[in-house]
A and B are shown apart, each in its own frame.
Chain A
Amino acid sequence: MSIALPRKRRRKLKGEPIGLYIIITLMAIVVGLPLYLMVINAFKPLEELLLFPPRYYVMNPTLENFSNLLLATNASLVPFSRYLFNSIFVATTVVVVSVLTASMCAYPLAKSKAPGVNVIFQIILAALMFSPLVTAIPRFLIISGLRMIDTYWALILPAVASSFFTFFMRQFFEAQPSEILDAGRIDGAGEWSLFWKLVMPLAKPAWATLTIMAWQSAWNDEFGPVMFTRSEAMKTLPLAIHTLYAGAGLARMGAGAAAALLTTAPSVIIFVFLQKRVIATMAHAGIKG
């Protein structure tokens, strides 16, 4: 055994393409650089931010920037925590409601032969082929017609209506065997209990993908808050940060970086936890021609 182990290891190393690692690591450094800058600037004290030439590391990391961020925005009427709450509330609701509505709609789309089902799926598929942004104007008019301007509804409902979510779930269900459902039907289960007892538990791995996609689309949504909100208290994090810091000079660079980090971190953390399941299910997004 003690001899077999190193040999096995050596063979593995030989099989591992070292050249590939070098190429991809170089690329990773280039891609990671802006993220790295964001992180170090967020923790740099003011004197280090103003150093010339700029340093690529932090000497005395501090949380000053984060506290400045909270204080600076406290001076305006809306506290920073409100933006954070808006973003978290909207994104979480979009995730939960999307998982529900998309799964519910996708189940018959994949498994039912009811008249019209195929036409509906073709329409949803067609809707993947343009950005919802091209419908911004009538959407705005519809939302103001429904008197939803400046409410959470305006940020949540259009995001839930994304064709991708339902398309993806439908593709996922399509790939699942129908036998288990037939068995359930023979046992006398109604569609409603079939859905909750068999279909939804089956769909759990796909929820991960849906969660990350829905979270991102809502969390990073730039247009919804710009178009559908009026008051400062309804703004979400990215928009608030942009308006607060876009024109700010070097002195507030640290707070800007802290804000950017705060906006990016949740999405990255969620992805870290879901990555395995996302990779396991994401292939279902394929479109069979």
Chain B
Amino acid sequence: MATQVVTRQRPKPGFGTRATNTWAEMKRNRAAYFFMAPFLILFFAFTILPVLAGIGLSFTYFNVLQKPHFIGWSNYALLFLEDDVFLKAIRNTLLYAMITGPVSFFAQLGLAWLINSLKYRVGYTLLFYAPSVTSGLAMGLIWRVFFSGDLYGYLNYVLIRMGVIFEPVQWLSDVDTMLPIVILVSLWMSMSTGFLTFLAALQNMDHELYEAGKMDGIRTRLQEFCYITLPCMKPQLLFGSVMAVVRSFEVSGVAVALTGLPSPQYATHTIMTHMQDYAFIRFEMGYAAAISVVLFITMFGLSRILFRVLKSN
């Protein structure tokens, strides 16, 4: 026991340099590093290292069989200047992200707020959350029947009965309807982590704040929401918005499940599916890495901007 007490004492200031102080601190806290080690090793191997390696690879030509060789900015030049399909993928991704990102964020917040003001929440929470736990690939089977291009397709059947359309629409192979359907299905699946976080934040609100607000002249529920609820759940809003950004740019599972890879006329081609196409079908890893880096910078950059904006407000 006695030795332990001695080792836990901080070294007196003024003795030794700062570096040795840090080293002593680290030694004193070695238990902390042991605790962190298992996760950090995995995190380094499967997240940090891949990010760095991906950036490195993006400057090479690499086809898996031969060793990668350095080719400078060529992949990026090719990507932005000559790859028309990539430009289409960017357009689709931006369109998709600009719709699903904000819509899913506000839908999650709005629904959480609605549900929170009800007494019977459990069933509604489950129902709205359930789509996000479905597997995109497995649910694709149901959607294919729903959007089937013949008269058996439920949507065609209903719309024809209602007189909206006169002949069946090829929903999943018509260039004009494919992307909207992918967006719709993704929105259906988007009541996920953010939704639960918002709901949790709302349910753990301090009710005294509302009482105090009433004293200060807050009358309507909307005022209450804007001036009391929202500021209180800022951390959760920040988390939810970052998740919405990340999810809205990682689209691919649903698109592939519904329209295949590559999709007809690249109508639902996104940056992510373009990357998959080059990486795992054509085995041009260097080029695919460059695509990933572009996507990485987009996601990370946007999240950082959101972070700054929400932090200052």
Contact = CB atoms under 8 A, between A and B. Distances in A.
Interface of A: 16-17, 20-21, 23-24, 27-28, 31-32, 34-35, 37-38, 41, 52-54, 100-102, 104-105, 107-109, 112-117, 120, 123-124, 126-142, 157-158, 160-161, 163, 166, 188, 190-192, 195, 213, 216, 219-220, 222-223, 226-227, 237-239, 241-242, 245-246, 250, 253, 256-257, 259-260, 263-264, 267-268, 271-272, 275, 278-283, 285-289
Contacts of A115: 22, 25-26, 29
Given A264-B139, A275-B126, A278-B200, A286 B233 contact: yes
Given A192-B31, A263-B138, A131 B200 contact: no
Interface in B68-87: none
B222 interface: no
A242 B125 CA distance: 28
17 contacts: A23-B114, A24-B111, A104-B38, A114-B28, A127-B48, A128-B303, A134-B293, A137-B57, A142-B49, A219-B135, A220-B136, A256-B141, A256-B145, A283-B197, A286-B234, A287-B238, A289-B310
A20 B246 contact: no
B95 interface: no
Contact of A142 (B53, B133, B137, B280): B53
A216 B133 contact: yes
A216 B137 CA distance: 14
B280 A28 contact: no
Most A CB contacts (10 A, CB to CB) among B42, B53, B130, B143 go to B42
Given A131-B246, A238-B138, A260-B142, A283 B236 contact: yes
Contacts of A238: 135-138
Interface string B99-110: 000000000000
Nearest to B310: A289
A135 B300 contact: no
Nearest to B247: A131
A237 B45 CA distance: 27
A242 B257 contact: yes
A97 B196 CA distance: 23
A190 B111 CA distance: 46
Contacts of A35: 130-131, 134
A128 B246 CA distance: 8
A270 B131 CA distance: 14
A100 B38 CA distance: 9
Interface in B274-292: 275-276, 279-280, 285, 288-289, 292
A140 B54 CA distance: 11
B138 to A, nearest CB: 4
A137 B285 contact: yes
Given A134-B54, A138-B289, A242-B137, 6 more contacts: A134-B299, A158-B46, A220-B136, A260-B141, A268-B130, A286-B197
B285 A141 contact: yes
A289 B238 contact: yes
Nearest to B258: A246
Most A CB contacts (10 A, CB to CB) among B49, B50, B126, B146 go to B50
Nearest to B5: A188
Interface in B1-29: 1, 22, 25-26, 28-29
Nearest to B249: A131
B162 interface: no
Interface string B36-55: 10111011011111110110
Contacts of B197: 282-283, 285-286
Most A CB contacts (10 A, CB to CB) among B31, B127, B135, B193 go to B135
A283 B201 contact: yes
A108 B293 CA distance: 32
Given A38-B139, A259-B141, A136 B275 contact: yes
A253 B36 contact: no
B222 to A, nearest CB: 14
A286 B201 contact: yes
Given A130-B300, A275-B122, A242 B140 contact: yes
A279 B196 contact: yes
Contact of B235 (A112, A246, A289): A289
Interface stretch (B151-159, B175-183, B207-215): B151-159
Nearest to A192: B31
A272 B126 contact: yes
Contacts of B54: 134-135, 137-138
A129 B307 CA distance: 10
Contacts of A32: 127, 130
Interface string B227-254: 0000001111111001101110110110
